[in-house]
Amino acid sequence: MSSYYKKINGKSYDKAMLDIADGSVAGKGDGRISLTDSRSIVKQIKDGGKITDIERRTLNYILENYKLTETALKHIEKSISVNLVSDVKNEIKAERAAAVREEIPQMGKQPAKGGWGKKLFIFLILLLLAIFAVFTFFKYFYKNTKTDNAVTEKHDEVTAIQKDETAVSKTESAEKTGAVPVKPLTENEYLVKDKDTLIKISEALYGDYKKWEDIYKLNKSKIANPTILYPGQILQLPEKNGNK
């Protein structure tokens, strides 16, 4: 893995990855990164065993500023997107493990025997009885207009939340069963489904995988990485009669 970087507009990028990309297009073929060179880029990323932030930034820069062959882009999709998801899952697991370690009390330490233990136990019992008494009083004897209004508002809020959850549940169920519309929502919109990629969408709607770049340019504000799409995203589509 390269241990030095290249500055572009004040940001650090992996110089070794950029050198591979530059060497791939410099005076060769049609000026696109080939499958062989894409494998070299992927190998450069995987050599360290984990994708760093600078490597992710460099990969995004290459995808945005260089042209790739169809096979090169597909190879990067299959090789890198899985690792990105794996890294995120590992980070979440590490955070949860750290939280659990903080919450687990120190083991092996028993409370000191004697009068203080008994007094603490009695105090806790009395406190629980007092809380229960107050709760019972307010529940059965202290009812007024403000309480009734609060209950009504809470009921309306819960009802609205339940309706929203039902709508979300129906949407998720439709996506799992493949009931999400395959065609665009309108003439120039498309709803992303599970396992969709820009190339697959381009081939399905335009019969030409090269249109993925036009789709990506129209949706840069929604797509952080052109190799990763999420089900439920609504993409803007270029005009079909505007093929280049």
The pLDDT tens digits of the residues spanning 15-58 come to 888 888 888 887 766 778 888 888 888 888 877 777 888 888 88
Distances from the Cα of 131 to the Cαs of 48, 56, 123, 125, 144, in angstroms?
Answer: 58, 54, 12, 10, 21
Q: Where are the domains of the chain?
A: 5-96, 150-179, 189-242
The arithmetic mean of pLDDT across residues 157-179, rounded, is 59
Neighbours of 13 (CB within 10 A): 20
> Whose CA is closest to 62, among 42, 84, 79, 85?
42
CATH of range 189-242; options 3.40.50.970, 3.10.350.10, 2.60.130.10, 3.30.160.20: 3.10.350.10
pLDDT, residue 108, reads 47
Q: Please, what is the end-to-end C-alpha distance for the chain in angstroms?
A: 39
- Where residue 244 falls among pLDDT bands split at 50, 70, 90? very low
The arithmetic mean of pLDDT across residues 6-12, rounded, is 88
pLDDT tens per residue, range 74-88: 888 888 765 554 554
